[in-house]
Amino acid sequence: MKFWRLPLDSEVHSIPHGTVRIIENRCKGCGFCIEFCPNGCLKQSKRFNAKGYHPPEVVSYAEDCADCGLCSLICPEFAIFTQLDEAKKITESDILKVSTRYSRKDKRYVKS
Amino acid sequence: MRVRCRKLQPFNKEAADDVIQKDHGLHPDDKYLKPGRIPHIWCPGCGLGVVLTTFIEAIRRKGLPVDKCAVVSGIGCTGRVAGYLDMDTYHTTHGRAIPFATGLALAKPDTSVTVFSGDGDLFAIGGNHLIHAARRNVNIKVICVNNFNFGMTGGQAAPTTPLEAKTSTTPTGNAEAPFNLPAVAHAAGAVYVARWTTFHPRQLVHSISQSLDKKGFTFIEAIAPCPTGFGRPNKLGSGLEEMRFYRENSEIRNGIDPGLAEIKLRGKIVVGTFSDVDRPDFLENYQNNVVSKVLSKGDKPGKGRAA
Amino acid sequence: MGKDVLTGEHFIHGDAACAEGGIAAGCRFFAGYPITPATEVAERMARRLPEVGGIYIQMEDEIASMAAILGSSWGGVKSMTATSGPGFSLMMENIGLGMMTETPCVVVNIQRGGPSTGLPTLVGQADVMQARWGSHGDYGCIALVPCSPQECFDLTVAAFNFSEIYRLPVFVLADEMIGHMSERVVIPRKADLVIVDRPQPKVGKDKYLPFESSSHMPAPMAVTGQGYHVHVTGLTHDERGYPVITDTVQERNVRHLVDKIRRNAEKIIRFETLGIEDATVVVVAYGCTARVARQAVENLRGKGYKVGLLRLITIWPFPSALIRSIAGRVKAFVVPEINYGQIAYEVERTAGGAAEVLLLALMGGSIHSPEEIEEGVAEFL
């Protein structure tokens, strides 16, 4: 889907931007956060943590984290959470990004 | 008789405090967790941690002070939940979390008492207590984590194990039909009945928050993956694969008759809030039918009768 | 609000006196399940507790009753239950939990004949060893044995006090004969009753150790809602209450549970004697049997025989030191009891061969006659 202009009510909305925080040594590598992050912000790292698991790491396009907190909610180990950085005003470029984000996510599912 | 014991090693509080300081407070949920207790004992891929997180989130969302909360657990993997929460927590005997919580809730009516226990604890050894507490409508919130087997003891059949499912005590497939937990709780008189899986953490938070507002016996079933005990013999794969299964096979049907929400091995899982009704709880009935009648008789305490 | 202490003279049975003793001691929560011959305790509580602001609840079984009183005790309310043999068996699981978690409460057992359903309406004294060893694992315990309705009142009050001081479930081990016997019971004025309440922690949350075991006394008890966030578990736990599954913590944990009673036994033990100073034969009796034994001993002393009576009031902890001190100078102990040998074994063990022991056993359903006891004693005269 492609938006052809800024939504009329874009003034009252904002885009939260978050940062993912990972407490690597608590991770047991279940993969829930990686699988279920709605924005596909996470992937499995190649590193080992103190327990011998591969903790998640943030993918390079991490600016997509919307501070939704699902990773924190679905992590059984209290090993990951998100923090709100800023609530950005919506701009034309964000609208463009939304469409690319969805297409990226779709691709990820096809792969798995 | 003389007695000789081994030399006692006294409790070293400083060393214990050191462990507590380490690593505590890194996560925003840590302030709801007893210092020094994480990592928990649950296997990788287990859903129990998810249910614990959703409970914490519900308490945070309701703004409940932790001093006004108490959690009672029975025995088993889920029984360990109590030990991780930084509030007044009670880890009781197998199956007896509900009667213990009944005593606690009646002694402390201003405290929100939650029973956190597993399907084996609440419906096998503790089944009688559950239906009677629901009948009395004691003001306790039950969160039953259902992983379809006895996980702590190594994956034996439970009253929730689906027909034909394999466990370590049903190697050729379970010959018994399972309980449909929401239907049992509903039939026994619970005022709030819901079922979600660990794939539905937001819905779980919402349901737990709703149940915290209710007066009376509420029941929430949280279906959780158990890759070690249940997933392996039934070839369901890792915890993550079980979560994917929930994503693909859960069907949200709020308000339906919980009797229609039976679970079959590899079948659809009907989830949702099935019932939400109001009826007087035990204390209200006790006040209206016992205390007020006794007190209206005036100050004639037990006199004149040899009992 | 009704009166909690019914000061004055009453003609009531032992069951009712147990209930009144509990209420006078501050009990405000009773969870029970009907069982003969203890039902009357529950019936009295059901009527009396709502008068004094307490709660009576009839649970689905004795397992639940015991669990519920532990729960309410951690809610800060003094609580008790009452039962008889079969129910006592069911309670054992959570009695163990109460011992492990150091939870004050009182369990009244109006003993009937056993095993199994046995003699529901007739007397027995065969739960003595069950009270001591019934739940699995090692722990110290306190059991008080009343021999009259008056003592049912007095000892239930004492049981609550012991439970609050030593933080454990305390047993009142009455029997059907005493429970169903109506006699004069004098309830003192409230001001004259000695009532002990559990000590409260005086230090902050970071300093407080709810299961401190370095002294032979339990730590003060913080209950729900006081902000101490205590974790109470039936698992082997350290002083903070955290489960630690190691041999060193087990060593501290269990020895604390046993030693807090063993090392304080002298302060707990109560007994009554009659003429044991010059006796050559001593009758050791408790509960309803002690009433008959007293008659027998008085009869024999009237005839000039040097016979004494030792009536046990606390049956656990057992007065071993006392028996040992008498054993050297008497010929024999005669132990009448309504079982096939329970306390007699304790007497024999502590006498250590210094004196003979004769068990006068009855299997239950009736009490000894004074003549039976006199005949037993006569063997040694």
Q: What is the pLDDT of residues B261-297, one digit of tens each?
A: 999 999 999 999 999 999 999 999 999 999 999 988 7
Please, what sign has the CA dihedral across residues C97, C98, C99, C103? positive
Number of structural domains (chain B) is 1
Token readout for B69 is 């909360």
The CA-based angle B152-B155-B161, given to 5 degrees, is 115
Same domain, C183 and C278: no
Rounded Cα gap, residues C152 and C173, in angstroms:
9
Q: What is the pLDDT of residues C21-30, one digit of tens each?
A: 999 999 999 9
Domain that holds residue C370: 273-378
Residue C312 sits in a domain whose CATH number is: 3.40.50.920
Identify the CATH assignment for A17-88 out of 3.40.50.150, 3.40.50.11400, 3.40.50.1820, 3.30.70.20: 3.30.70.20
**Domain annotation covers residue B305:** no
Rounded Cα gap, residues C143 and C161, in angstroms:
13
Which residues from chain B sit within 8 angstroms of residue C19, using beta carbons? 307
Mark residue B272 as left, alpha or beta (left: phi above 0; alpha: psi -120 to 50; beta: remaining). Answer: left
pLDDT for B16 equals: 85
**Domain annotation covers residue C213:** no
**For range B14-23, the mean pLDDT:** 81
CA dihedral C79, C85, C91, C92 (to 10 degrees): 120
Nearest CA in chain B to C31: B103
Residue with more model confidence, C281 or A89: C281
Q: Which of these three, C147, C174, C192, is where a domain ends?
A: C192
pLDDT for A58 equals: 92
Same domain, C186 and C278: no
Q: Is the Cβ pair B9, C11 closer than 8 Å?
A: no
State which amino acid sits at residue C185. Answer: V
Residue C44 sits in a domain whose CATH number is: 3.40.50.970
Q: Which of these three, C134, C164, C192, is where a domain ends?
A: C192
Please determine, for residue C165, whether its predicted confidence score (pLDDT) is greater than 90.
Answer: yes
CA distances from B222 to B84, B161, B205, C14 (A): 18, 15, 11, 49
DSSP chain A: ----S--TTTTT-EEEEEEEEE-GGG-----HHHHH-TT--EEE-S---TTS---EEE-TTGGG-----HHHHH-TTS-EEEEEEEEEEP-HHHHHHHHHHHHHHHHHHHH-
Q: Residue B278: is it exposed, middle or buried by C-beta count within 10 angstroms (0-12/13-18/19+)?
A: exposed
Q: What is the pLDDT of residues B66-110, one digit of tens each?
A: 999 999 999 999 999 999 999 999 999 999 999 999 999 999 999
Mean pLDDT value across chain A: 83
**Domain annotation covers residue C215:** no
Rounded Cα gap, residues C63 and B99, in angstroms:
8
Q: What is the pLDDT of residues C29-46, one digit of tens each?
A: 999 999 999 999 999 999
User: Which of C48, C51, C138, C211 to substitute to test the interface with B, most B CBs within 10 Å?
Assistant: C51
- Type and span of the H or E element at C273: strand C271-274
Q: What is the pLDDT of residues B197-222, one digit of tens each?
A: 999 999 999 999 999 999 999 999 99
Nearest in space to C330 (alpha carbons), one of C373, C375, C280, C296: C280
Query: Hunting for tokens 């959690």 — which residue is that?
Result: B71
Q: pLDDT-derived band of residue A89, with 50, 70 and 90 as boundaries?
A: confident
DSSP B126: T
Q: What is the pLDDT of residues C52-81, one digit of tens each?
A: 999 999 999 999 999 999 999 999 999 999
**Domain annotation covers residue B15:** no
Task: Tell me which residue in B13, B129, B299 faces C60 most closely, judged by beta carbons.
Answer: B129
Domain that holds residue B247: 40-296
Q: pLDDT-derived band of residue B304, with 50, 70 and 90 as boundaries?
A: very low
Give chain C's length.
381
Residue with more model confidence, B255 or A110: B255
Residue with more model confidence, A106 or B56: B56
Nearest CA in chain B to A36: B199
Please determine, for residue A107, whether its predicted confidence score (pLDDT) is greater than 70.
Answer: no
- C to A contact (≥3 Cβ pairs closer than 8 Å): no
**Domain assignments of chain A as residue spans, ordered by start:** 17-88
Rounded Cα gap, residues C203 and C228, in angstroms:
10
Residue with more model confidence, C66 or C206: C66
Rounded Cα gap, residues C76 and C60, in angstroms:
23
Q: Is the Cβ pair C50, B11 closer than 8 Å?
A: no
Which residues from chain B sit within 8 angstroms of residue C211, using beta carbons? none
Q: What is the pLDDT of residues C296-342, one digit of tens each?
A: 999 999 999 999 999 999 999 999 999 999 999 999 999 999 999 99
Q: Which of these three, C192, C208, C229, is where a domain ends?
A: C192
Nearest in space to B24 (alpha carbons), one of B36, B42, B15: B36
Please determine, for residue B246, whether its predicted confidence score (pLDDT) is greater than 70.
Answer: yes
Please determine, for residue B28, whether its predicted confidence score (pLDDT) is greater than 90.
Answer: yes
pLDDT for A46 equals: 95
Q: pLDDT-derived band of residue B59, with 50, 70 and 90 as boundaries?
A: very high
**Domain annotation covers residue C255:** no
Please determine, for residue C213, whether its predicted confidence score (pLDDT) is greater than 80.
Answer: yes
Residue B213 sits in a domain whose CATH number is: 3.40.50.970
